[in-house]
Amino acid sequence: MGDASREILRRARQQVPEWTPAQVQDALSQKKDDFVLIDVREKYEWDEGHIPDALHVPRGFLELRIEEAVPDKSQQVVLYCAGGTRSLIAGSTLQQMGYDNVISMAGGFGQWKGSGFKFIQPRTMTEAQAKRYSRHTLIPEVGEEGQFKLLDSKVLLIGAGGLGSPAAFYLAAAGVGTLGIIDADVVDDSNLQRQILHNTERIGQYKAESARQTLTALNPDVKVEVYLERLDETNVQRLVDEYDVIIDGTDNFPTRYLLNDAAIIANKPVVHGSVFRFEGQVTVFKPYDGPCYRCLFPEPPPPALAPSCSEAGVLGVLPGIIGLLQATETIKLLLGIGEPLVGRLLTYDALSGEFNELRLFRDPECAACGENGHPENLPTYADVCAIPA
């Protein structure tokens, strides 16, 4: 250390009070609202271990980020580094920025550990994960913590068809750790106009198996659970219970009612999407926070008024748009960010290029989610199917 550096440190020590690790531990145990602990070390040091409840603001970014981390300059701010030197100099800088109650922890993190106080060794990404998810971790609303949430999350997709294909593809790319896909159908050449998980070589193969091949090739972090069966009364509750969010990619009313009721019982959100020729819609059915599917459709419409895609047709790119919106809503739910489409129905008209939003309201008399609702005892209208248009 040169003479100039020693002089800077000497002045900082005169200006910035110091606490022992024991004093910092005592302050943390009191959980005061006006107390904040800041770790000014580099990221690799933070990853090797840090004090619980500390905020990480590296010294090199202190002047840029401290006002966002601690907007109230009257708060008591305790800084620590590895040995107590950088935190003293950082404390002097904060005083110049108008923070009037700044303290440095003497001895730094090394003395904290030497005193036997608790510290955290955070979960860290592999080098490959750090590269793959770098654009996520740069976003403050996601960051490494959010990416780990995604990696630990489980999403069930009902169907690997037009909606399930783009939704699953982008959820796998985003690093959602477990994707469950239930689909008993096989790939047909008429699917390939829109169902992007499949290809010509897989015609005749189960869609769920084809989906697994595509998704695991895209991202080895993702585990794909395959269910070669149809969703029905015998499996719906077991499957819904196992997952955090359900994506509804079905095109028939019985399955939608069945899924709705099971999700209410399990208190799991359903991200609903549907498409018809040039029009699509997306909403989120989150039990007891907004309406459920039965609030909107207490009974199914006549079959002639609701033909399926195979009977009415659909523009090939449209499921891609709606499926991506479903994936977006799912990620928002998993991370707890933004405003999910709860109580809002987003519609898209591909011909006009217009999005519109409709407000949806929960029915207090709903037989499924109302005050006196009994979702376990409701009919699913299994005898109602769409008929050829």
- How much of the chain exceeds pLDDT 90, in percent? 85
Report, as an integer, the average pLDDT of 56-66. Answer: 94
Residue 301's pLDDT band, with cuts at 50, 70 and 90, is confident
Q: What are 165-207's pLDDT values in tens digits?
A: 999 999 999 999 999 999 999 999 999 999 999 999 999 999 9
Domains of the chain, by residue range, sit at 3-114, 153-377
d(CA 349, CA 357): 12
Domains 3-114 and 153-377 share a fold: no
Neighbouring C-beta atoms of residue 366, cutoff 10 Å:
20
- The whole-number pLDDT of residue 19 equals 97
From 120, 122, 34, 48, select the one nearest 78 (Cα to Cα): 34
- The whole-number pLDDT of residue 388 equals 41
- The whole-number pLDDT of residue 307 equals 61
Return mean pLDDT, the chain. 93
d(CA 284, CA 296): 12
The pTM for the full model equals 0.77
d(CA 326, CA 311): 23
Residue 7's pLDDT band, with cuts at 50, 70 and 90, is confident
CATH architecture classification, 153-377? 3-Layer(aba) Sandwich (3.40)
d(CA 285, CA 292): 5
Q: Which CATH class is domain 3-114?
A: alpha beta
Starting at the earlier edge strand, list the strands of the sheet with 55-56. Answer: 18-19, 102-105, 76-80, 35-39, 55-56
Helices and strands in the chain, H and E counts: 16, 13
